[in-house]
Amino acid sequence: MSMNQIAFGTGITGVRVSMAKPWAVRAELPKTPDLCADRSFLRSGSSSSPRRDLVFVVNPSGANGRTGKEWKKLLPYLRSRLGADCNICESLTSGPSHAIDITREAIREGADAVIVVGGDGTLHEVVNGFFWAGKPVTNHDREVTHSTALGLIPLGTGSDFARTFGWKNDPHEAIDRIAKGQRSRIDVGVISGEDGEPHYFVNVADIHLSAKAGYYASRYKRFGNLCYVIGALKAFVGHRNRDLKIKVNEGEWELYSQVTALCIGNAKFFGGGMKITPNADPHSGNFEVVILQDFKWYDFILKLHKLYNGTHLTVKNVSSRSVHSIEVEDVSGSGSIYVQSDGEHLGFLPRKFCILPSAVEMIC
């Protein structure tokens, strides 16, 4: 389905909308004039208690199509819970990076919140939509003082970011959380390389074996959580531990020999529930960096339970440190060591990772 069909045709609820914004289609029959086409209701200082504009970014093909089906089932409860106080607007993504564009437009038009309906991949794109050319996206209207918040209804394959907050893949629970509207600011990680635009992440960025496994896992998402097992098996084929140089907090370069994986956590979980950076906290202003050195394939089998329950920091050849920036380079300069963040492949080393404290307001 194209964006024109979404914005100007008949939405999934059968409500025909005209003059809709390019990022939104009403998911309910309007009780007031169609405010999705009028930003005046976003004046947070108004005494008339304006309705909030909530933009739901839905990846209908996520989780093998389950996200789209669950979203349709969810709409009646969404209307009953939020419809009295909010304008419920939906945008269905049609391909890679579409959620980024939707988010930027929603923020510029003054949406109260952009809410992800799906998994970590859609969340990753929406977070990147909060930024443009290295700076936060802002509202076109200079008089509006509120910021657009990030929300999440976890419905994805892994939903690892939600695990840090103890949230389940329970959409009704998520809607109740959105209805309460409590917010707090969370940190965002930014990744820069030798060239190109900065890239943002909220969960975990990782390097070498785990990033390679994630790259392969993304090709097998049709198998659900089994994709992570398939990805790990394929990544092990031909894998060699590598010597890496790291620079922490703009200090001196340090050599780490025979690195198997290096994980930079703004939050705790990745890979479908693996508690890889167990001390990470998206409110702390720091990353937790966990480095695995000289691991063999059988080490993962023997110690997998520790990686999942977060007790692996006591294992030999595993180290952890708290940082606000880290640069990582391959000693050999081969340009073949994988980098990913939030499950998205980002190319190869070298890269620099920095924390942006309290960068985004989140409904939590």
Residues 6 or more apart whose CB falls under 8 angstroms from that of 215 comprise 231, 235, 338, 340, 345
Record the tokens describing residue 320, joined without a space.
Answer: 């952890």
Query: Annotated catalytic residue: which of 120, 160, 330, 342?
Result: 120
Cα dist from 23 to 98, 100, 230, whole Å: 10, 11, 36
Give yes or no for a cis peptide into 76 (omega within 30° of 0).
Answer: no
CA separation for the pair 265, 242 (Å, rounded)? 21
- The beta strand positions in 93-175, using DSSP E, are 113-118, 131-132, 135-136, 149-154
Kind and range of the H or E run holding 78? helix 66-82
If you search the block for the tokens 């998402």, which residue do you land on?
A: 221
DSSP string computed for 334-363: -S--EEEETTEEEEES-EEEEEEEEEEEEE
- CB atoms near residue 343 (< 10 Å): 30
Active site residue 120: yes
Residues annotated catalytic, as ranges: 120
